[in-house]
């Protein structure tokens, strides 16, 4: 009659026959769960290319390699080099950007006055694009190092400082004020007068007036045609024109005539300036 030990040996033998050795095909000194084996499934991996993010990666790799100069844009890093990146590398890089030091301390008075949280998030995104392992988490030395919780905490710290007015100044785009627009026209005209440059003195001012008057885009100005402006059929003090290159226009029926009004200030009289938009 078989003993309990005999039954155990028999079951172990059956499991081995069905599933095979759990370390079968694994090099000496490694297990089936080491990062080296996990990545070995993609031996043909090549670093992806993206011009938008390559300068970020080159600057980051130069930082962790201790280089004074950034790698030339377009440098191809090996799979092994990218696999050596750890969350601490990314954390130190982002901290250095925001605080200009790696070992910062909020309690000691350090503040992220050199970079906004949005900039750090963009850098993190650029580095993440080139990671070999695209797993959305980082655990036990595996996964995408840019997804580590320490990076989220760092960015949250920077955001908190921004809310309190202790971070880098905001660079959010805003509408131009009337005073700034007037200063723009003044600078263009003064430069044109000083250098006897017709484009600065007349043409560029006319382009700026047209864009400001219709709240248009630079595309609308550059594609202006002399056949666009025309008189107004109802009001003799106004004119009409089309804005055909607006990014929101996809149908000719949705491109109606826009009304142009005069101004008491001759420097802002856009109708008078139309004649200069087609000059060279």
Annotate 54-95 with DSSP letters as a single string. Answer: HHHHHHHHHHHTT-SSPPPTTPPPPHHHHHT--HHHHHHHHH
Report the pLDDT value the prediction gives residue 278, as an integer from 0 to 100: 54
Residues whose CB is less than 8 angstroms from the CB of residue 241 and which lie 6 or more positions away in sequence, other chains included: 214, 228, 229, 230, 257, 258, 260
Using pLDDT thresholds of 50, 70 and 90, give the confidence band for residue 54: very high
Helix axes 117-128, 51-64, angle to 10 degrees: 90
Tens of pLDDT along 36-53? 333 344 557 788 888 899
Residues whose CB is less than 8 angstroms from the CB of residue 218 and which lie 6 or more positions away in sequence, other chains included: 211
Exposure of 202 in the CB half-sphere (CA atoms within 13 A)? 12
Tokens of 249: 């226009």
| Section 205-222 average pLDDT | 78
Identify the CA nearest to 277 among candidates 194, 211, 217, 214: 211
Task: Name which residue leads in pLDDT, 2 or 132.
Answer: 132
Report the pLDDT value the prediction gives residue 152, as an integer from 0 to 100: 94
Q: Which of 9-18, 125-134, 212-221 has the highest mean pLDDT?
A: 125-134
Tens of pLDDT along 82-109? 999 999 999 999 999 999 999 999 999 9
Using pLDDT thresholds of 50, 70 and 90, give the confidence band for residue 22: very low
pTM: 0.55
- Between the alpha carbon of residue 194 and those of residues 185, 198, 266, 274, the distances in Å are 14, 11, 21, 24
User: Range with the lowest mean pLDDT among 10-24, 140-154, 195-209?
Assistant: 10-24
Report the pLDDT value the prediction gives residue 43, as an integer from 0 to 100: 58
Report the pLDDT value the prediction gives residue 267, as an integer from 0 to 100: 65
Using pLDDT thresholds of 50, 70 and 90, give the confidence band for residue 194: very high
Report the pLDDT value the prediction gives residue 130, as an integer from 0 to 100: 94
Whole-number average pLDDT of the chain: 78
Question: What share of the chain in percent tops pLDDT 90?
Answer: 39
Report the pLDDT value the prediction gives residue 237, as an integer from 0 to 100: 79
Tens of pLDDT along 230-251? 778 888 878 887 776 666 667 7
For the cut 70, the answer to whether the pLDDT of residue 9 exceeds it is: no
């Amino acid at each position: 009659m078989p003993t309990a030990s005999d039954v155990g040996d028999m079951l172990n033998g059956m499991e081995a026959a069905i599933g095979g050795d759990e370390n079968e095909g694994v090099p000496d000194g490694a297990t089936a769960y080491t990062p080296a084996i996990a990545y070995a499934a993609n031996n043909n991996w090549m670093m992806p290319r993206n011009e938008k993010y390559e300068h970020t990666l080159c600057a980051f790799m130069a930082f962790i390699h201790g280089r004074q100069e950034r790698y030339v844009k377009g440098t191809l890093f090996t799979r092994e080099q990218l696999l050596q990146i750890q969350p601490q590398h990314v954390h130190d890089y982002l901290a250095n950007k925001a605080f200009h030091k790696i070992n910062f301390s909020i309690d000691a008075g350090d503040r992220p006055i050199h970079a906004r949280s949005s900039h750090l998030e963009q850098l993190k995104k650029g580095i993440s694009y080139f990671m070999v392992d695209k797993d959305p988490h980082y655990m036990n030395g595996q996964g995408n190092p840019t997804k580590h919780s320490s990076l989220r905490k760092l960015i949250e710290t920077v955001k908190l400082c921004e809310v309190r007015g202790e971070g880098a100044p905001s660079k959010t785009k805003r509408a131009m004020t009337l005073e700034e627009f007037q200063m723009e026209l003044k600078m263009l005209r003064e430069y044109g007068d000083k250098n006897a440059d017709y484009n600065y003195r007349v043409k560029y001012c006319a382009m700026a007036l047209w864009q400001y008057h219709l709240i248009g885009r630079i595309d609308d100005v550059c594609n202006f045609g002399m056949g666009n402006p025309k008189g107004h059929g109802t009001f003799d003090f106004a004119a009409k024109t089309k804005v055909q290159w607006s990014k929101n226009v996809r149908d000719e029926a949705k491109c109606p005539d826009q009304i142009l009004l005069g101004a008491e200030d001759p420097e802002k009289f856009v109708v008078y300036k139309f004649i200069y938009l087609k000059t060279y």
